[in-house]
């Protein structure tokens, strides 16, 4: 009986750990969308990130590239920002939002803070690729 109880307890713990890893809590998500014209260029954002890293002496900033989210190249840049201090993360999010709002080319950019993505809801063709800048 003790073995069965221990086995059930282990199974419940394992199921909880799996469930926790199926939801990713991101500090910042930049959503690139398309309205029949393709998605905007991410170059201004990547340039800012490179400059931010240099200015703050940060070795790397990583994000997850999630997509395709649609049929026209839509994708997400999802950042945990764990490599930044709290104040740095606040500045980073604020300035990324400002830069994204100024990009007025084809498509749309939406900046979202503190959002969860449940990976079990992603389709088979949507992938998560870790990018280190």
CA angle 82, 83, 85 (to 5 degrees): 85
Q: What is the pLDDT of residue 16?
A: 41
Question: What residue spans define the domains of the chain?
Answer: 24-132
- What predicted TM-score, i.e. pTM, was given to this entire model? 0.81
CATH architecture of 24-132: 2-Layer Sandwich (3.30)
In the predicted model, is pLDDT for residue 3 greater than 90?
A: no
Q: What is the pLDDT of residue 19?
A: 42
Let me know: does 34 contact 70? Beta carbons within 8 Å.
yes
Report d(CA 70, CA 62) in Å as an integer.
Answer: 23
Which tens digits make up the pLDDT trace of 28-57? 999 999 988 889 999 999 999 999 999 999
Which tens digits make up the pLDDT trace of 64-108? 999 999 888 899 999 999 999 999 999 999 999 999 999 988 889
In the predicted model, is pLDDT for residue 15 greater than 70?
A: no
């Amino acid at each position: 009986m003790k073995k069965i109880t221990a086995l059930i307890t282990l199974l419940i713990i394992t199921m909880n750990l799996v469930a926790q890893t199926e939801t990713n809590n991101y500090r910042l998500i930049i959503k690139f969308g398309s309205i029949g014209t393709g998605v905007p260029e991410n170059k201004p954002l990547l340039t800012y990130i490179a400059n931010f890293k240099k200015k703050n002496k940060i070795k790397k900033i990583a994000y997850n590239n999630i997509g395709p989210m649609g049929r026209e190249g839509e994708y997400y840049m999802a950042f945990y920002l764990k490599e930044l201090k709290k104040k740095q993360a606040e500045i980073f999010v604020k300035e990324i939002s400002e830069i994204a709002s100024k990009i007025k080319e084809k498509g749309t950019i939406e900046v979202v803070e503190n959002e969860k993505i449940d990976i079990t809801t992603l389709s088979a063709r949507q992938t998560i690729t870790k990018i280190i800048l």
